[in-house]
Amino acid sequence: QVQLVESGGGLVQAGGSLRLSCAASGSIFSINSMGWYRQTLTKQRELVATITAENSSNYADSVKGRFTISRDNAKNTVYLQMNSLKPEDTSVYYCKMNLKARSWRFDNYWGQGTQVAVSS
């Protein structure tokens, strides 16, 4: 019932910027943390950035100072502003939300992924 829809990916030149969006829809009661992950060469998902319900954010060392995560609770949306993009940022980016839907508990939900490609 809950669906996370991502947008904003694309192809940019090194040094450029992209803004990713991820909006959750469905019967959502509450959203705790939100985050962005990307797929590594080993096909594991590494944490890029997270943001708590209190607006506290964490970033991977590789993106600190370049990426900014934010959230709009009224829209059930998380954003990732990516500046000074590097070719090594190329990946599929996945949105994750820890939320409570038609349940008493919080569960993790994932978006389908959006491709980010950075050319040199």
pLDDT tens string 28-79: 999 999 999 999 888 899 999 999 999 999 999 999 999 999 999 999 999 9
Between the alpha carbon of residue 18 and those of residues 66, 85, 100, the distances in Å are 11, 8, 29
Burial class (CB in 10 A: 0-12, 13-18, 19+), 116: buried
Nearest to 31 by CA among 1, 2, 6, 69: 2
Give the Cα separation of 92 and 70 in Å (integer): 19
Using 50, 70 and 90 to split pLDDT, how confident is the model at 16?
very high
Is pLDDT of 103 > 90? Answer: no
Selection from 28, 26, 50 nearest residue 37 by Cα: 50
